[in-house]
């Protein structure tokens, strides 16, 4: 049984044509635009993470400087050498508290290199950023390679 449609009613084929959805090209263009946005966002995110890792490393070295100053005041000089796995000097005296010792292990790329110089010192370390930025700690400042 066939029904006649009058002029005011909408035919089935007209409904299908008006609600056809997105074409494959439109979906591909939207996907490419989304991929570009994600790539840009990931790039900025990576830069912020690198900056944060360098900042954390500088903070740990700043705490290291304070503890070396305290060691100097208590012992009348800076240590001749530092055993970083145990954070002790060559006589077995504690140079850094255990919490700072853990931070040195966790927040730096590798163990710092401590060099005593007359009545001062130089300590070099690498940050955990993507380029392993070189940081140099002295009694008076912290320098960051490339800045």
pLDDT digits (tens, 9 = 90+) for 85-110: 999 999 899 999 999 999 999 999 98
| Residue 21 pLDDT class (50, 70, 90 cuts) | confident
Q: Taking the model in full, what pTM does it have?
A: 0.75
* Domain ranges across the chain: 22-144
Checking if the pLDDT of 146 tops 60, the result is yes
Given this model, what pLDDT does residue 9 score? 56
Contacts of 72 (CB under 8 A, 6+ apart): 78
Compute the distance between CA of residue 124 and CA of residue 111 in angstroms, rounded to an integer.
9
Checking if the pLDDT of 17 tops 70, the result is no
Cβ neighbours, 10 Å, residue 61: 24
């Amino acid at each position: 049984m066939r029904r006649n449609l009058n002029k005011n009613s909408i035919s089935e084929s007209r409904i299908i044509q008006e609600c056809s959805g997105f074409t494959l090209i439109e979906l591909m263009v939207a996907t490419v635009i989304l991929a570009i946005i994600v790539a840009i966002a990931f790039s900025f995110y990576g830069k912020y993470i690198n900056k944060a890792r360098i900042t954390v490393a500088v903070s740990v070295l700043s705490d290291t400087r304070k503890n070396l100053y305290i060691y100097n005041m208590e012992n009348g000089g800076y240590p001749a050498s530092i055993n970083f796995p145990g954070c002790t000097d060559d006589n077995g005296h504690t140079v850094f508290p255990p919490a700072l010792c853990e931070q040195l292990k966790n927040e730096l790329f590798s163990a710092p290199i401590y060099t005593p110089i007359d009545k001062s010192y130089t300590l070099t370390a690498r940050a955990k950023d993507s380029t392993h930025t070189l940081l140099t700690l002295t009694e008076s400042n912290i320098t960051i390679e490339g800045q």
